[in-house]
């Protein structure tokens, strides 16, 4: 069993418990009364040049590193991210490996005006309705965890609810599947979800396969501004950053530094005027 398989097994078990406690019909009712979703596609630049966008993550732990930060107040952290110029706030809600919760999502949603991503391992439409019920504007769909049929239907439901989806890929085949599903936001995760190894060169090898007009996100492996600049120079419109922010004493300043590094990389590579 791979790490991804193990995580998904736990996600399904926890999902079954939540479904027993709150049937889908009630979740749908709650979703219908949630505030109108915010436009994450526009917040991330709409697939055009300009400023590199930072998706700043509320992340307590990870399978590869264990505990990362004792986040006593996720709302305060999210507010700092917003002050620093983050475009989207990502909230881990998977509990077993990442220490997240829907309570963290609720706290962050109440604290910021930015689009909020419910970052989890989506394997059932219940989770998409649940995300909307808790005020999320974006969900994560991992191609490696989904059949083509599920990817297509989950994307359709996400759009039906007015939300956006970050469709996460790791290989050339997965990028082609995401493009075929007409994903408008595609993430390239340079962490192998089977081994948890990082290979930053993966991004440049895959980003060029993603069509113009799509928001391209570099996921994982960001240690500092140099990594951000490398991703931006290879075609990233946005970077998703967790560990480097939650472990920093001044996450707002770090976000500003990352955005400036991305802007400089675009200017040097002549990419700032692309569309």
CATH of the domain at 114: 3.20.20.70
Average of per-residue pLDDT values in the chain: 94
- Number of helices (H), then strands (E), belonging to the chain: the values are 12, 10
Task: Tell me the two tokens of residue 1.
Answer: 């069993």
Task: Give me the pLDDT at residue 267, please.
Answer: 81
Task: Give me the pLDDT at residue 270, please.
Answer: 67
Cβ–Cβ under 8 Å, residues 112 and 73: no
DSSP string, 88-136: EEEEE---TTT---HHHHHHHHHH-SS-EEEES---SHHHHHHHHHTT-
Cα distances (Å, whole numbers) of residue 32 to 29, 152, 236: 5, 22, 34
Q: Phi and psi at residue 214, in whole multiples of 5°?
A: -95, 140
Tally of structural domains, the chain: 1
Task: Tell me the two tokens of residue 274.
Answer: 């692309």
Mean pLDDT for 94-121 is: 97
Instruction: Give this prediction's pTM.
Output: 0.95
Range of the domain at 74: 3-269
Domain membership flag for residue 18: yes
Of 152, 244, 155, 170, the closest CA to residue 207 belongs to 170
Task: Give me the pLDDT at residue 222, please.
Answer: 95
Domain membership flag for residue 220: yes
Mean pLDDT for 99-108 is: 97
Q: What is the pLDDT of residues 20-70, one digit of tens each?
A: 999 999 999 999 999 999 999 999 998 776 689 999 999 998 888 888 888
Check pLDDT > 50 for residue 143. Answer: yes
Domain membership flag for residue 275: no
- In Å, the largest CA–CA distance within the chain is 54
Residue 57: helix, strand or coil by DSSP? strand
Domain membership flag for residue 160: yes
Task: Tell me the two tokens of residue 152.
Answer: 């297509």
Confidence of residue 249 (pLDDT cuts 50, 70, 90): confident
Domain membership flag for residue 180: yes
Residues 6+ apart with CB under 8 A from 246: 57, 58, 59, 60, 68, 69, 71, 77
Q: Which residue has the higher pLDDT, 247 or 189?
A: 189
Domain membership flag for residue 274: no
CA 47 to chain centre: 16
Q: What is the pLDDT of residues 170-190, one digit of tens each?
A: 999 999 999 999 999 999 999
Task: Give me the pLDDT at residue 24, please.
Answer: 98
Task: Give me the pLDDT at residue 275, please.
Answer: 36
Q: What percent of the chain has pLDDT over 70?
A: 97
Helix, strand, coil percentages (3-state) for the chain, rounded to 5, are 45, 15, 35
Q: What is the pLDDT of residues 194-232, one digit of tens each?
A: 788 999 999 999 999 999 999 999 999 999 999 999 999
Task: Tell me the two tokens of residue 217.
Answer: 């996100």
Residues belonging to the active site? 57, 59, 119, 168, 189, 219-220
CA dihedral angle for residue 270, residue 235, residue 50, residue 215, rounded to 10 degrees: 150
Residue 136: helix, strand or coil by DSSP? coil
């Amino acid at each position: 069993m791979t790490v991804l398989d193990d995580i998904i097994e736990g996600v399904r078990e926890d999902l079954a418990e939540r479904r027993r406690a709150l049937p889908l019909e009630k979740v749908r009712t709650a979703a219908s009364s949630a505030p109108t979703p915010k436009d994450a596609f526009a917040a991330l630049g709409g697939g055009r040049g300009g400023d590199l966008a930072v998706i700043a993550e509320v992340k307590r732990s990870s399978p590869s590193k264990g505990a990362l930060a004792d986040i006593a107040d996720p709302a305060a952290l999210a507010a700092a991210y917003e002050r620093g110029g983050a475009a989207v706030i990502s909230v881990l809600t998977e509990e077993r490996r990442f220490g997240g919760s829907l309570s963290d999502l609720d706290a962050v949603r109440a604290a910021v005006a930015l689009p909020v991503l419910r970052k989890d391992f989506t394997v059932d439409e219940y989770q998409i309705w649940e995300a909307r019920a808790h005020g999320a504007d974006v969900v994560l769909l991992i191609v490696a965890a989904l059949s083509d049929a599920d990817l297509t239907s989950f994307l359709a439901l996400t759009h039906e609810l007015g939300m956006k989806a970050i469709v996460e890929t790791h290989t050339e085949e997965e990028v082609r599947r995401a493009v075929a599903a007409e994903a408008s936001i595609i993430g390239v995760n340079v962490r192998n979800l089977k081994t948890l190894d990082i290979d930053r060169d993966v991004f440049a090898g895959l980003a060029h396969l993603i069509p113009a007009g799509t928001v391209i996100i570099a996921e994982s492996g960001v240690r500092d501004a140099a990594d951000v600049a490398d991703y931006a120079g290879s075609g990233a419109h946005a970077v998703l950053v967790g560990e480097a922010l939650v472990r920093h004493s001044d996450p707002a300043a770090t976000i500003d530094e990352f955005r400036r590094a991305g802007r400089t990389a675009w200017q040097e590579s002549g990419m700032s005027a692309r569309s």
